[in-house]
Amino acid sequence: MHLPPRLVLQALVWGTIILGGLVTGLILLGAIIQFRRDRQNRYRIARYQAWEPALTDYLFCEEGQPRPFPEVPERDKDIFQIFLSRYHATLAGQEAEALRELYLALGVHHSLPKRLKHRVASVRAQAAMEIEAFRIAECLGEVVPLLNDPVPYVTHLAAKALTHSGDLAYARPVLDWVLGEERYQRERLLRVLEGFGPELLPWLEEHLEPPEAAPKPWILFALLAGSHRHRESEHRLLELLDVPLVDIQASALKALAALADPLTYPRVEPLARHEAWPLRAQAAKALGLIGGPDAIPILIQMTSDPVYEVRRNAAQGMADLGHAGTSALTWLAEDPTADPFARDIAQERLEWADERGHQ
């Protein structure tokens, strides 16, 4: 069936008009949305500029003087609470406490439970951030469900709110959340767990299952002990060296290297000959820090290891020892009878040390 040319032409004309109207409508709608956003941003910036000098006067007035702050209109409270949250990270002591009092005086903290369940992720995130910044302890229990939030940055802020409270009653849910993340993410999330402070380590020792039954939490324990330089955990780290699981042993070696206690050298040295190369690599890194110049003979042997990471760590361990280590590397690089792998890695580390002024 063929339509008359006149009808085809009319259809094309009306189709073009309708399409043009739709495009024009979309452009106008976009322009209106952008205009509103620009107006909101200009208003927000103007409010911030007005509040900044008033906040300075409020926080840093002379001792004994009143600390007046202009009354915040109801319509500006949403902006003001975000303004305070951002400033809180730059303050401590008396000023931080004064900022908290100003926040509580707004009364917006009463809406936190509702905002923690808001459908918009940014609102949930802001609520979690305020609970962390202003230490709203009564809302911490309602933060825990956000550890299962579908939006990653909301869960991250929720975990920070719980850990920075220092309340170990929330250690288990946060630990479970960290362990539920991908393995490559866990070391990054150690910074969140560190918010509990060194008191978390005794708690972990008391509450965790044996490492043979549940190795993952003990790997985090070892990494936390190293990051905190927690010497009270050294005895447990030495026990973890006897657990026949490579990941646990490697994490314990990493922590012992951070503690750098020379008395642990006899326990670390045998692992330099372990059949698992990740353990040899961690042992090479630890031996220079723990043993000092006395570790040079075994580190020289390890520069002939068939695995590059082990050779690199052994050579780096010597480079970090200063003159004694670089002298050993120089001798190794110039010895024509030495293993070719050992000569190559020694030369590479010497060039690295020279570039950084370590010689």
**Burial tier of 323 (Cβ tally within 10 Å: 0-12, 13-18, 19+):** exposed
Determine which helix (DSSP H) or strand (DSSP E) holds 114, and give its type and residue range.
Answer: helix 112-116
Alpha carbon 211 to its chain centroid, in Å, reads 25
Note whether 154 and 166 are within 8 A (CB): no
Give Cβ neighbours of residue 155 (< 8 Å, ≥ 6 apart): 146, 147, 148, 149, 177
Q: Please report where in the chains the tokens 């050779």 appear, as a residue.
A: 311
The vertex-349 CA angle with 345 and 352, nearest 5°, equals 140
DSSP 272: G
- 287 token code pair: 């031996």
How confident is the model at residue 47, as a pLDDT? 87
> Taking the CB of residue 333, how many other CB atoms lie within 10 A of it?
19
Alpha carbon 332 to its chain centroid, in Å, reads 40
- 310 token code pair: 């082990």
Note whether 268 and 298 are within 8 A (CB): no
- Residue 42 sits at φ, ψ, to 5 deg, of -65, -40
Separation between Cα atoms, residue 41 and residue 33, nearest integer Å? 12
- 100 token code pair: 């908290």
How confident is the model at residue 266, as a pLDDT? 93
- 62 token code pair: 């002379």
- 135 token code pair: 């230490």
Residues making up the chain, counted from first to last: 359
Model's pTM, two decimal places? 0.77
How confident is the model at residue 264, as a pLDDT? 94
Note whether 67 and 61 are within 8 A (CB): yes
Per-residue buried b or exposed e for 277-314, using 16+ beta carbons within 10 Å of the residue's own CB: ebbbbbbbbbbbbbbbeebbebbbebbbbeeeebbbbb
Domain limits, the chain: 79-146, 260-359
Residues of the chain with pLDDT under 50: none
CATH architecture for the domain at 260-359: Alpha Horseshoe (1.25)
How confident is the model at residue 259, as a pLDDT? 93
> Helix 215-228 vs helix 183-193: angle between axes, to the nearest 10 degrees?
50
